[in-house]
């Protein structure tokens, strides 16, 4: 099975590369449609067999049936959740990562890959304004990134506290579900902070909640730089100030919105972010990398190392080396060099191209907001801070939103699902794909008349 003779590398290699090339050249990509388990079984049958079904057939089933049953998250009218729009360069390099058998958990095993990943991380650290010694790694997603940062925060707080064992995290109700999930995993208590009229976390509201609950019981404050549902950036400067004063770890969740740091037109909204103790951004959201890729950064990586390094006799050879081992900064041990597709594209195109691509999505977002304001049947729920637009269609019931959404998907025209805000069913665009155009926006809005 492993011998080069047992696999016709040339034939399968060509077929796999031809598929990848063909997929990346499609313009537009098909939106595609989900199938039921019964439909898939009827079309594909049992693929895992004692004898194997051979590569051509397996690839054929993927090409003809399985792939078309997966939505193309990079379709320009896929505007639900947070889409993912990898550059062709990043997507192609993902193939290289798979072919290279790199273990990127340690410097000893993956120095070349880790070096390149660290340069990409440094670009992000500079956007945030973190000091030269800042560092971290690329983890699978914002959920693991947030969890890892909070574990480091708690470890740090408990090492410093005398007597107290801080067990609480403060965040707004608009914070991402992964914060609650991380608190559940850690058996920590999440204390909600009310937002201001602009849906932002502010230092004043944070201070009131911390003081009402004994600040010494908190090990972290989570602010969001771009909430998932509304794209709100918290008032980071005033939050940072309260954290500094009370000596509480300041984590910024920029999983979606952190990419906006690259765009001069919105960069001032992040003022204060440079004071964070830890930060995440998902390049698989708005920085054009394929799944799965979250950049996790710490102001003082030694604090994260103390919390995350795994110890075992078989790991001493790595831990005693004093080298930069990415695995020491997050939950998990084995690591794919998942930052490399992002690095390759960033290195190839240059950071200016990233700035322009993020600005382009913001431009289309401003167009969408303006179109919504212009149409009497529609109403913006909030002026977008970033590239999320939430709006209502006057006179529509929740069922109307759902039926409209289902119809657009059935026609493979667009993927825009309903969302909820303050209990009201609404709809929402998340625009992170530079290929999403003004025409895409108008053609979707036209179907709501
Ligand atoms: C998407 C998102 C997350 C979770 O990231 P995953 O990569 O899906 O695990 C966390 N926080 C925010 C603000 C997000 O938008």
Answer with the one of 292, 327, 349 that is the final residue of a domain: 349
Nearest to 123 by CA among 351, 360, 353: 351
pLDDT at 334: 97
Residue 90 lies in a domain: no
pLDDT at 254: 98
Say if residue 268 is in the same domain as residue 287: yes
Residue 80 lies in a domain: no
Say if residue 143 is in the same domain as residue 255: yes
This prediction has a pTM of 0.97
Say if residue 342 is in the same domain as residue 356: no
Quote the ligand 1 centre to 21 CA distance (angstroms).
29
Answer with the one of 283, 318, 349 that is the final residue of a domain: 349
Q: Whose CA is nearest to atom 3 of ligand 1?
A: 142
Mean pLDDT of 273-283: 98
Say if residue 47 is in the same domain as residue 176: no
Peptide bond into 292 cis (omega under 30): yes
How sure is the predictor about 350, in pLDDT bands with cuts at 50, 70 and 90? very high
CATH number, domain at 210? 3.40.640.10
Q: Say whether pLDDT at 1 is over 90.
A: no
pLDDT at 321: 87
Residue pLDDT, tens place only, 379-417: 999 999 999 999 999 999 999 999 999 999 999 999 999
User: d(Cα 225, Cα 29) in Å, to the nearest integer?
Assistant: 31
pLDDT at 241: 98
Say if residue 186 is in the same domain as residue 236: yes
Mean pLDDT of 62-82: 98
pLDDT at 8: 85
- Domain range for 412 is 351-446
Residue pLDDT, tens place only, 109-159: 999 999 999 999 999 999 999 999 999 999 999 999 999 999 999 999 999
Q: Say whether pLDDT at 58 is over 80.
A: yes
pLDDT at 296: 98
pLDDT at 280: 98
Say if residue 296 is in the same domain as residue 234: yes
Mean pLDDT of 347-359: 98
Residue 198 lies in a domain: yes
Residue 79 lies in a domain: no
User: d(Cα 402, Cα 428) in Å, to the nearest integer?
Assistant: 12
How sure is the predictor about 193, in pLDDT bands with cuts at 50, 70 and 90? very high
Quote the ligand 1 centre to 401 CA distance (angstroms).
25
Q: Say whether pLDDT at 6 is over 90.
A: no
Quote the ligand 1 centre to 145 CA distance (angstroms).
9
pLDDT at 386: 98
- The angle formed by the CA atoms of residues 423, 440 and 349, to the nearest 5 degrees, is 105
Q: Whose CA is nearest to atom 10 of ligand 1?
A: 142
Q: Residue 5, exposed/middle/buried by CB under 10 A (0-12, 13-18, 19+)?
A: exposed
> What is the CB < 6 Å shell around ligand 1?
82, 141-143, 146, 176, 178, 224, 228, 253, 255-256, 282, 294
Residue 87 lies in a domain: no
Mean pLDDT of 276-293: 98
Say if residue 345 is in the same domain as residue 379: no
Say if residue 62 is in the same domain as residue 157: no
How many domains does the structure of the chain reveal? 3
Residue 300: how many other CB atoms lie within 10 Å = 17
Residue pLDDT, tens place only, 84-103: 999 999 999 999 999 999 99
Residue 111 lies in a domain: yes
Residue 86 lies in a domain: no
Say if residue 280 is in the same domain as residue 422: no
pLDDT at 4: 75
Residue 75 lies in a domain: no
Q: Which atom of ligand 1 is nearest to the CA of 227?
A: 13
pLDDT at 163: 76
Q: Whose CA is nearest to atom 14 of ligand 1?
A: 255
Q: Say whether pLDDT at 2 is over 90.
A: no
Q: Which atom of ligand 1 is nearest to the CA of 282?
A: 7
Quote the ligand 1 centre to 344 CA distance (angstroms).
23
Answer with the one of 286, 318, 349 that is the final residue of a domain: 349
User: d(Cα 22, Cα 67) in Å, to the nearest integer?
Assistant: 13
Say if residue 114 is in the same domain as residue 254: yes
Quote the ligand 1 centre to 136 CA distance (angstroms).
17
CATH number, domain at 402? 3.90.1150.10
Say if residue 109 is in the same domain as residue 186: yes
Say if residue 384 is in the same domain as residue 344: no
Higher pLDDT, 4 or 167: 167
Mean pLDDT of 288-314: 97
């Amino acid at each position: 099975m492993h011998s080069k003779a047992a696999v016709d590398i040339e034939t399968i290699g060509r077929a796999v590369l031809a598929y990848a090339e063909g997929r990346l050249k499609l313009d537009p990509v098909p939106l595609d449609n989900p199938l039921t388990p019964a439909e898939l079984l009827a079309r594909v049958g049992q693929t895992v067999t004692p004898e194997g079904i051979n590569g051509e057939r397996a690839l054929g089933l993927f090409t003809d049936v399985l792939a078309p049953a997966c939505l193309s998250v990079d379709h320009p009218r896929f505007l639900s959740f947070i889409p993912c729009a990898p550059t062709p360069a990043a997507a192609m390099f993902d193939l290289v990562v798979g072919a290279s058998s790199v273990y990127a958990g340690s410097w000893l095993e993956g120095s070349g890959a880790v070096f390149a990943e660290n340069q990409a991380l440094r670009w992000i650290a500079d956007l945030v304004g973190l000091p030269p010694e800042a560092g971290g790694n690329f983890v699978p997603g914002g959920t693991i990134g947030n969890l890892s940062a909070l574990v480091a925060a708690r470890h740090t707080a408990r090492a410093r506290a005398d007597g107290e064992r801080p067990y609480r995290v403060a965040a707004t109700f608009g914070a991402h579900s992964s914060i609650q999930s991380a608190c559940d995993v850690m058996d920590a208590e999440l204390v909600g902070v009310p937002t201001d009229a602009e849906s932002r976390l502010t230092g004043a509201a944070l201070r009131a909640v911390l003081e009402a609950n004994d600040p010494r019981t908190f090990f972290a404050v989570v602010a969001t730089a771009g909430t998932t549902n509304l794209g709100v950036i918290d008032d980071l400067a005033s939050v940072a100030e309260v954290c500094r004063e009370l000596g509480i770890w300041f984590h910024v969740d920029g999983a979606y919105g952190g990419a906006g740091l690259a765009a001069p037109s919105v960069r001032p909204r992040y003022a204060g972010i440079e004071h964070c103790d830890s930060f995440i951004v998902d390049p698989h959201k708005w920085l054009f990398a394929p799944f799965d890729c979250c950049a996790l950064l710490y102001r003082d990586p030694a604090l994260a190392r103390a919390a995350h390094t795994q110890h075992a006799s078989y790991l001493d050879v790595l831990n005693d080396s004093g080298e930069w081992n990415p695995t020491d900064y997050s939950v998990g041990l084995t690591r794919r060099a998942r930052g490399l597709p992002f690095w390759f594209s960033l290195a190839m195109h240059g950071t200016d191209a990233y700035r322009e691509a993020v600005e382009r999505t913001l431009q289309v977002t401003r167009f969408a907001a303006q179109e919504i304001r212009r149409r009497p049947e529609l109403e913006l729920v909030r002026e977008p801070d970033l590239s999320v637009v939430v709006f209502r269609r006057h006179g529509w019931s929740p069922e109307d939103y759902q039926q409209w959404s289902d119809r657009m998907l059935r026609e493979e025209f667009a993927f825009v699902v309903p969302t909820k805000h303050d209990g009201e069913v609404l709809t929402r665009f998340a625009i992170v794909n530079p290929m999403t155009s003004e025409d895409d926006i108008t053609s979707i809005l036209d179907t709501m008349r």
